[in-house]
Amino acid sequence: MEIIRTVAELKAKLNAARENGSIGLVPTMGALHAGHLSLIERARRENDTVVVSVFVNPTQFNNPNDLATYPRTEEADTAMLCEAGVDYAFIPSVEEIYPEPDTRQFALGSVAEVMEGAMRPGHFNGVAQIVSKLFDFTRPTRAYFGEKDFQQIAVIRKMVELEGFDLEIVDCPIKREADGLAMSSRNVRLTPEQRAIAPAIHKALEGSLSWAADHSVEETKRYVIDEINSFPQMEVEYYEIVDALTMQPVSDWAETDSAVGCVTVFCGDVRLIDNIKYPKRK
């Protein structure tokens, strides 16, 4: 595995690699875990060359403290990437990615205006900035993203449409701990007490599947919120049931064949996200 620090070297290496076949890109912000490795494993199976970016992107953080406390574990990350058979690890500095401020504003539309878009102003524009740069630098055949960030995938698909990138977006299932907690780099910030109760998020989502069978959308939302909020140190920021394609909230199960419940929970001061897909109504 080669570690690359500059855009110029990355482009040169991948221009040569592209002549020998497909390129798979896995964008990450580091602090890697088994969820990231599952994306890398799939990229390895489906492509001739695999590149993983490790970059904590400042433009997508609307909370300076969240940026400051985001875990950074480059030495451990590079060891994991090498073991996973990655060809190139792109680990640039902020100055390399943003030699000048990125003032681009993306017309991402309604998929970026709800849920995370409403709670974190500017977040998705920052995501579009960095992902568009990575796509431009690497020109991958395929790019891999985890479904834990369900809304983000919809936003990236919209950005690809706007910018005209010729690539396939591959969405991959959520990877979970044995107790159901969605794997996240932020999990390392949980105290032992918080880590013990955090799996209640997924448990509430799973419980809502049977509850939803004979309850309304609004009643199902209330069930999930009440279940999670019953635990000390846990507070739901939002729980929304949306159409999987448009990300728009639904008020009746009949409005969509692909309902997804998306939740954000503060466990102490750690912000955790998760989601669940509801079965199509007969």
Binding residues: 29-36, 60, 146-149, 152, 183-186
Q: Is 112 left (phi over 0), alpha (psi -120 to 50) or beta?
A: alpha
**CB-based burial of residue 15 (10 Å sphere; 0-12 exposed, 13-18 middle, 19+ buried)?**
exposed
Cβ proximity of 56 and 70 under 8 Å: yes
What is the rounded CA–CA span in Å between residue 32 and residue 45?
19
Q: Which residue has the tokens 């279940």?
A: 227
Which residue ranges make up the annotated binding site for ATP?
A: 29-36, 146-149, 183-186
| Longest distance between any two alpha carbons in the chain, whole Å | 57
Cβ proximity of 169 and 160 under 8 Å: yes
Query: What are the Cα distances from residue 12, in Å, to 20, 86, 96, 150?
Result: 14, 17, 16, 33
Which residue ranges make up the annotated binding site for (R)-pantoate?
A: 60, 152
Tell me whether residue 36 is one of the annotated catalytic residues.
yes
Q: How far is CA 33 from the centre of its chain?
A: 13
Of 66, 77, 84, residue with least CA distance to 31:
77
Which residue ranges make up the annotated binding site for beta-alanine?
A: 60
Annotated active-site positions, please?
A: 36
